[in-house]
Amino acid sequence: MGALSGRTALVTGGGRGIGRAISERLGRDGARVGVHYSGGEAAAKETAAAIEAAGGEAFLVRATLGEPGDAEALWSAFDAHADGLDILVNNAGINKTLDGTLRPFTETTRADIEHLFAVNSTAPFLIIQQGLSRLRDGGRIINVSTGLTQTAARSELLAYAMSKGAVDVLTRGLALELGPRGITVNAVLPGAVDTDMNAAWLRGEGNAAARAETGARSPLGRVAEPSDIGDVVAFLASRDSRWVTGQWIDATGGAQL
């Protein structure tokens, strides 16, 4: 019996990168995992297949976040597969502007800011709000934020960090709100992680110097892997974390020390 046997989890953006690592780890721990995706259906199917190949259970939940009706669509898709929830992981997020680039502060537009906040801040708010009737007492809410909320973000990541700062505020407020139901609410704050999102500057021979510099920021001397974050989330999803709530867990490998 795994630590999460008999429990149902939903991981937004659960098909790739950190989300995949979270989904697979929760599956190994015995949870039945809803793998949410927007456009990456193939990746989500691969993640679900990997969970099942390891002896777990998974199902797919499709909904595009950041647009009107996103939370309703997500929960409608979820309800087709499950009748309740124990673990909600708000992992889905974006750090780029509407055209898929990183623009400095002086060039960031209103539309860019609204898009970042719609996906990173408003969607988790509404997903939690509409999910509370499904979330069982004693459940877990884990929000994936960023270590950039605890330091000075670079110009091109300022709007992104602002949108995640709202998630940190949401985390602490909901921990107070939902405590009487035995529901814990925490945030995990990763630093740079070796995912496809960061491949352009972390992978390949041409990026060896950038990777070395990034790894050197941590006293542990390396760049984080998705599983490093997935394992932190697994702890917060487990009974072992029952006395931890309203916290922002630094998962930067000490990069900001």
Q: What is the DSSP code string of 222-247? A: SPBPHHHHHHHHHHHHSGGGTT--S-
Q: Is residue 156 part of a domain?
A: yes
Q: Is residue 257 part of a domain?
A: no
- Write down the pLDDT at residue 220: 95
- Write down the pLDDT at residue 194: 82
Mean pLDDT over 12-32 rounds to 98
Q: Is residue 129 part of a domain?
A: yes
Q: Is residue 109 part of a domain?
A: yes
Residue 1 banded pLDDT, cuts 50, 70, 90: low
Range(s) of the domain holding residue 189 = 8-250
Mean pLDDT lowest among 1-5, 15-19, 51-55: 1-5
Mean pLDDT over 110-134 rounds to 98
- CATH number of the structural domain spanning residue 54: 3.40.50.720
Q: Are 71 and 123 in contact (CB under 8 A)?
A: yes
Mean residue pLDDT across the chain? 95
Q: 61 phi and psi, to 5 degrees?
A: -130, 115
- Write down the pLDDT at residue 201: 66
Secondary structure letter of residue 218 according to DSSP = S
Higher-pLDDT residue of 194, 30 = 30
Q: Is residue 30 part of a domain?
A: yes
Check whether 147 has a pLDDT greater than 90.
yes
Distance from C-alpha of 200 to C-alpha of 209, rounded to nearest angstrom = 13
Find the catalytic residue in 31, 160, 226, 251: 160
Q: Is residue 25 part of a domain?
A: yes
pTM of the model: 0.95
Q: Is residue 86 part of a domain?
A: yes
Total domains present in the chain: 1
Q: Is 160 a catalytic residue?
A: yes
User: Tokens standing for 161?
Assistant: 């960090």
Q: Are 155 and 246 in contact (CB under 8 A)?
A: no
pLDDT tens readout for residues 168-189: 999 999 999 999 999 999 999 9
Check whether 204 has a pLDDT greater than 90.
no
Q: Is residue 3 part of a domain?
A: no
